[in-house]
Each structure stands twice: as structure tokens, then as C-alpha cells.
């Protein structure tokens, strides 16, 4: 495979040969950052843009792998922190790596554990998340509390297991070692995801830390790749993570810094609301090399995120909200979301979405699924999760095709106006 080249202001950086890994852009949408392409991995090709199905603990909750394949899921993303706790990265490695261990036999991703720095740290038990806004006031400030399960220092993070309280530590180097043991095709560099409500002084401090951790991640990644290369094992790609919150200067600075590390792709972290994608994502993408893939880490659950992400140069997405909301009774349809547990659906003998081709909609009615939830039957969780995952995977497939066909803007306008039942204006 040909080597990749990135021009910086004062030098050219050349990456080492990476067999069975690469990214080709096949179509570009005129006057836009949107594109379609193919991400090549040792476990198969991925057509992009694509929604990566969330399999946090080496499983997509309530679904079998055959069901994930039936909805055209192309790849699965697992979580390094959770697999470190159970069953342990060494067990996954002994099982042949993530894909073989879970019998997926397709492309896989792992995030680094960086999001748990936020979710088990300043966000723990405060009711805030990555889409927090100023209305939450001091709740999102980056202040330590006695009950949080993650404490940050300059060299890494001390965790207390949310399972049994045992002490754990993760550093850039250990995150890389864990991810290579887990064996996904694409890894993320270890980063800190700061609270979106943190003060600017802390965001700057956090960004400097993320950059140093990215540098150390790259050094460790290259070292492990040499070991694996000598053993005849396949390449595992490293994508660096761009942070910088809502501050343009910092987003651009972060994108330039991560670009200069010559990683294989990029995750854009800490994105907040759809209206901010044309700013925060756009600032980063403008500074990143065009010929490498870009991932929107943990996108929100707004359907408009998918259209706006693609429009502003995103190639891959992940989000666990679709299965989680499905397990709670929330269903996505072409005309908006519904709560299938509501009484109005007790005698509704139509599919969740009459236009949907998923197994659930082809075989079951709202009344039946409403009954399953009321009766606390586990099948309710499977049928709803299957529908929601099909919905989002299929929608991104349609968005990809609209980029290829050159009909993206017409498709975006018509789809979102129908979904939101009003003209869509991001």
C-alpha cells in the first residue's frame, strides 16, 4: 500500500507502511466538505459515511451479531475502559482479539477510555453530559468532588471501578497497550474530554494535557506496531482526538497539533448540539488533512447531527443512545420519535414505522410491542433496539448514497422537514 504524506509548514511527515489499512475518497459533493469513501481494515472494508454500531462491552445490547448484520451494520465500536474491567484485555487477546472473541468477524473500533475521564469524573452524579449548556450553571464546572470515580493528574487518570470500587490507573501508554491487546482495527488516542461548562482556563489546561497524551499515545502505538509487525500480526490504526470545546482558537490549534503527529485518522470529541457542528466540527475539519478519515465521537441523539456531520466532512459516527432509548421505549420513525409505552398504542395494529424494512416493522405491531413493555418481556428490548439501530444505520446509508448521487441537499431538506414537521434551519 502506498505511503501517506502530509505537508506541514516546515516539513513533510511520511507514515510507515500499513498493510491492509487505508482510506480512499471515491466521491465528493461539490461546494461542500461531504464525501463518500472506503475505509480499508484487516477485517474488511467499510463504506463511508457510516454509523458504527455501539458494542461497549463486546456486545450490542439485546442484539445478536446476526441481527446487527441483518441491519447492514458494517462495524462495531467497543469501550477500552469497560473491557479492561470485564473480562480483561488479556482475556479478549487470548480469545483471538475483539472480532473473534465476540464472533463478529468484521471491522471493529475501540475508544480509549477518555470519555470515562469525564463521565466518571466531573460529570459523575451531577446529571450533566457532553451536550450540556449554560442553563446547567455550576453543575458542569470542572471541580473535583469526593464521590467521583476518576481523578486526573498530568500523567494519567486514577479510576475507582464502578463495579467493585477497586483502584485502577490508565495512562496514554496503558491505553495503547490495552487497545492493542483487545485488537480492534481502529484505536483512539487517550484524551481528556472536559466538561462543556468548564471555565476557559481549565479547557486550555485540559487541551495541553490531551496533546501530551496524544504524543505519548503515538510513541507507544509505534513501539507496539513494531513488535506486532515482527510477529507477523496485522496493523491496528491509531486515530488522534481533537478537543478544544466551543473555542475556535483551541479547536484549530488542536487539529493542527494532532495532524502533525501523523496519526491514521481523527476523532472529534466534545461536540455538543447540532447547531454547533457548523462551527466546532468545521473549525477542526478545516485544519485536518483531507485524505484521512474523521469520526464524530459519541454524537448526540439528534438525527440532524448525521446530516450536518456528513456535510461538514465527517466519515464515521458512533452513539449508544439509539439502543439505550429503544430499551426505554423510545422509537425513531421517519416522522419523529414516539414512546411505544404510551397508552395510545395499546390498540394500534400498525408497524412502528410503515416505511421501515427492519424485522420488527415487517413482523410486529405497535400494540404487540406496547404489550411486551407492559408485561416486562425482554423481547420488547430486542425488537425496539433492532428497529432503532436499523433506523440510524439505514439513514446514514441513504445519506451516503445521496452524496454519491449529488442529491444530498434535497434529501436533507425533505427528510428533516418531515422528521421535525417543520422547515429545518440548523
- The 10s digit of each residue's pLDDT in 15-50 is 456 779 999 999 999 999 999 999 999 999 999 999
Phi, psi of 212 (to 5 degrees): -65, -40
Average pLDDT (394-405) is 98
Q: What pLDDT does 145 receive?
A: 55
Q: What is the pTM of this model?
A: 0.90
Q: 362: burial class by Cβ within 10 Å (0-12, 13-18, 19+)?
A: exposed
Q: Put residue 30 in one of left, alpha, beta given phi > 0 → left and psi -120 to 50 → alpha.
A: beta
- Residue 231 CB: number of other CB atoms within 10 A? 7
The set of cell numbers assigned to 31 is 461546494
Beta bridge partners of 110: 78
Phi, psi of 389 (to 5 degrees): -65, -40
Q: Which residues are catalytically annotated?
A: 111, 318
**Separation between Cα atoms, residue 357 and residue 390, nearest integer Å:** 8
Q: Which fold has domain 21-113+172-319?
A: TIM Barrel (3.20.20)
Report whether the peptide linkage leading into residue 87 is cis, meaning its omega lies within 30 degrees of zero: yes
Average pLDDT (384-407) is 98
Q: Give the pLDDT confidence of 53-91 residue by residue, as tens digits.
A: 999 999 999 999 999 999 999 999 999 999 999 999 999
Do residues 140 and 198 touch, judged by C-beta distance below 8 A? yes
Q: What pLDDT does 147 receive?
A: 65
pLDDT at residue 14 is higher than 50? no
Q: What pLDDT does 404 receive?
A: 98
Q: What pLDDT does 411 receive?
A: 98
**Separation between Cα atoms, residue 285 and residue 251, nearest integer Å:** 9
**Separation between Cα atoms, residue 224 and residue 226, nearest integer Å:** 5
Q: Give the pLDDT confidence of 209-252 residue by residue, as tens digits.
A: 999 999 999 999 999 999 999 999 999 999 999 999 999 999 99
Q: Give the pLDDT confidence of 138-154 residue by residue, as tens digits.
A: 444 445 555 677 788 99
- Span(s) in the chain for CATH 3.20.20.105: 21-113+172-319
pLDDT bucket at 135, cuts 50 / 70 / 90: very low
Q: What pLDDT does 8 receive?
A: 31
Amino acid at each position: 500500500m502506498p505511503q501517506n504524506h502530509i505537508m506541514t509548514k516546515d516539513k513533510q511527515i511520511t507514515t510507515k507502511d500499513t498493510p491492509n489499512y487505508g482510506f480512499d475518497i471515491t466521491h465528493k459533493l461539490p461546494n461542500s466538505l461531504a464525501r463518500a469513501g472506503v475505509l480499508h481494515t484487516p477485517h474488511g472494508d467499510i463504506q463511508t459515511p457510516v454509523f458504527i454500531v455501539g458494542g461497549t462491552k463486546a456486545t450490542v445490547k439485546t442484539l445478536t451479531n446476526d441481527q446487527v448484520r441483518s441491519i447492514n451494520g458494517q462495524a462495531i465500536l467497543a469501550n477500552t475502559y469497560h473491557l479492561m474491567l470485564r473480562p480483561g484485555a488479556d482475556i479478549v487477546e487470548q480469545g483471538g482479539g475483539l472480532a473473534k472473541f465476540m464472533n463478529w468477524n468484521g471491522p471493529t473500533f475501540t475508544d480509549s477510555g477518555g470519555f470515562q475521564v469525564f463521565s466518571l469524573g466531573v460529570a459523575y452524579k451531577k446529571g450533566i453530559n457532553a451536550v450540556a449548556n449554560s442553563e446547567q450553571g455550576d453543575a458542569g464546572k470542572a471541580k473535583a468532588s469526593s464521590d467521583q470515580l476518576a481523578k486526573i493528574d498530568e500523567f494519567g487518570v486514577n479510576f475507582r471501578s464502578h463495579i467493585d470500587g477497586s483502584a485502577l490507573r490508565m495512562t496514554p501508554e496503558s491505553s495503547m497497550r490495552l487497545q492493542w491487546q483487545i485488537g480492534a482495527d481502529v484505536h483512539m488516542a487517550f484524551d481528556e474530554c472536559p466538561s462543556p461548562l468548564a471555565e476557559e482556563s481549565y479547557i486550555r489546561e485540559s487541551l495541553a494535557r490531551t496533546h501530551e497524551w496524544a504524543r505519548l499515545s503515538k510513541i507507544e502505538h509505534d513501539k507496539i506496531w513494531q513488535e506486532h509487525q515482527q510477529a507477523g500480526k496485522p496493523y491496528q490504526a491509531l486515530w488522534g482526538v481533537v478537543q478544544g470545546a466551543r473555542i475556535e482558537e483551541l479547536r484549530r490549534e488542536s487539529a493542527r497539533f494532532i495532524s502533525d503527529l501523523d496519526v491514521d485518522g481523527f476523532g472529534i470529541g466534545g461536540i455538543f448540539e447540532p447547531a454547533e457542528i457548523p462551527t466546532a466540527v468545521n473549525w477542526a475539519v478545516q485544519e485536518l488533512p483531507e485524505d484521512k478519515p474523521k469520526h464524530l465521537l459519541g454524537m448526540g441523539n439528534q438525527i440532524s447531527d448525521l446530516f450536518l456531520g456528513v456535510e461538514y466532512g465527517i466519515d464515521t459516527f458512533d452513539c449508544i443512545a439509539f439502543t439505550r432509548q429503544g430499551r426505554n421505549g423510545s422509537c425513531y420513525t421517519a416522522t419523529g420519535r414516539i414512546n411505544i409505552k404510551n397508552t395510545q398504542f395499546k390498540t394500534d395494529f400498525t408497524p412502528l414505522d410503515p416505511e421501515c424494512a427492519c424485522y420488527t416493522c415487517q413482523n410486529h405491531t405497535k400494540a404487540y410491542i406496547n404489550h411486551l413493555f407492559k408485561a416486562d418481556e425482554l423481547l420488547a428490548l430486542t425488537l425496539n433496539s433492532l428497529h432503532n439501530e436499523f433506523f440510524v444505520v439505514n439513514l446514514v446509508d441513504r445519506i451516503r448514497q445521496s452524496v454519491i448521487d449529488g442529491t444530498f441537499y434535497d434529501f436533507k431538506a425533505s427528510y428533516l422537514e418531515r422528521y421535525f414537521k417543520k422547515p429545518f434551519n440548523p
